[in-house]
Amino acid sequence: MNTIKTVFEKQKQLGYGCLVAYITAGDPTPERTPEIADALIRGGVDILELGLPFSDPIADGPTIQNASLRALKSGTTPKRVLEITGEIKAKHDIPLVIMTYYNPVFKYGTERFLAEAKAVGVDGFIVPDLPVEEAADYLEAAAKAELDTIFLASPATSRERLERIVAASSGFLYLVSRFGVTGAQTDVADATVELIRKVQPFTAGKVALAVGFGISRPEHVRRVVAAGADAAIVGSAFINIVAANQPDMLRELEEAASALKAATKT
C-alpha cells in the first residue's frame, strides 16, 4: 500500500518530483468525480487532493469558488465525499488527501469524521483555515486515526512559526507560492523560487515540500522542482477543464496531467 511518504521516496528514486492534483469532489456532480480521478491518475498524478466543498471558501479564487458552488448545488455532502474517496481508493493504490475548510469537519465531529475518512482510505487532511495555533483537537484526532496532517506555510510565515508548522506537519508541507488566493497564473515569480530556497532547509530530512497556488503549466512545475520543491500542486488548471465540460474533458485532463508529470523530472 502506497502512503504519501512512500510515494515521495519512490518518485525520488526514479528521478522525479511528485505531481499533486486538486479537484473539488462533486464537481460537476458526485457521479463524475471518480472518472475525473481515473483520468488524472492515468495521466500520472501521484497524490490526489479531493476538495470537500464549503459555502464560503475565503482562501480560494473564482475557479475553486465556482467549483465549490457547482458541487454543493449537485448535492455533495461530507458523507458523499467519503463515499467517492472510497470508490477511488478501491481502484487506485495512490494516496488521497481531503482538503476542506474547518467548519464542515467540525460540524460532522472532528474525531468521527477523521476516523471515517481513514476507514475509506484517506491518507491525510489539509485544512487551510486551521493554523497550528488552533489545531490541538484536530491533531489529536488525526494522530488517533493515523492520518497525515498537512499544514500550510506562506511567504509571510516567520522562521519561528515555520519551525512550529513543519513540526506539526506530516506527509508534506504545503507551501503557498505567493500572496493571494488559489488560481492559475501566467508565470511563476522569482519571489516563489526564492521562497522555496528559503523554506527547503527547514523541511529537508523532515517532511516533503510541495508548492501550490498559481502553478498551472509544465514550465511552472519545472521551475518549482528545480528550485528544490519535492512536489508541485495543480488545482485550478484542472478545474478549468472540468468547468468547460467539453465532450473530450477526460482526455484533456489526462493529457494535461501527463505533460505536468513529465515536467517533474529532475
Partner 1 sequence: MNEKISSYPIDGKYGKYGGRFVPEVLMEAITGLEKAYTAAKADPEFQRKLDYYLAEFVGRPTPLYLAENLTRKLGGAKIYLKREDLAHGGAHKINNTLGQALLAKRMGKARVIAETGAGQHGVATAIVCAALGLKGIVYMGTEDCERQRLNVYRMRLLNTEVYPVDSGSKTLKDSINEAFRDWVTNLESTYYLIGSTMGPHPYPMMVRDFQSVIGKEIKQQFKAKTGGLPDALVACVGGGSNAMGTFYPFEDDTEVKLYGVEAAGEGIASGRHSATLAAGSEGVFHGMYTYVLQDKHGQIAETHSVSAGLDYPGVGPEHSFLKTIKRAEYVYADDKEAVDAFLMLCKEEGILPALESSHALAHAIKLAPTMRKDQSIVVTLSGRGDKDVETIAKVTGAKI
The stretch near partner 1 (CB under 8 A) out of 9-17, 25-33, 55-63, 243-251 is 55-63
Q: Which three cell numbers stand for residue 21?
A: 492534483
The residue within the footprint of partner 1, chosen from 12, 131, 200, 251 (CB under 8 A), is 131
Say how far apart CA 71 and CA 77 lie, in whole Å.
9
- β strands within the chain, DSSP E: 18-24, 47-51, 96-99, 124-126, 148-150, 152-153, 172-176, 208-212, 231-234
The stretch near partner 1 (CB under 8 A) out of 16-24, 43-51, 153-161, 214-222 is 153-161
Options 27, 60, 123, 252, the catalytic residue: 60
Q: Which three cell numbers stand for residue 43?
A: 495521466
DSSP state of 32: G
The closest of 178, 174, 171, 147 to 162, measured between CA atoms, is 174
Minimum distance of partner 1 from residue 228's CB (angstroms): 20
Largest CA distance in the chain: 49
Sign of the torsion formed by the C-alpha atoms of 192, 193, 195 and 201: positive
Indicate if 60 belongs to the active site: yes
Minimum distance of partner 1 from residue 183's CB (angstroms): 10
Options 35, 38, 46, 49, the catalytic residue: 49
Minimum distance of partner 1 from residue 178's CB (angstroms): 9
> Is the CB of 1 or the CB of 136 nearer to partner 1?
136
Indicate if 194 belongs to the active site: no
Contact positions with partner 1 (CB under 8 A) in 156-215? 156-158, 161, 165, 176, 179-181
Euclidean distance between the first and final Cα of the chain, in Å? 25
Minimum distance of partner 1 from residue 107's CB (angstroms): 3
Q: Which residues are near partner 1 by CB under 8 A? A: 54-59, 61-62, 65, 69, 72, 77-78, 101-108, 128-131, 133-134, 151-158, 161, 165, 176, 179-181
Query: Which residues are known to be catalytic?
Result: 49, 60
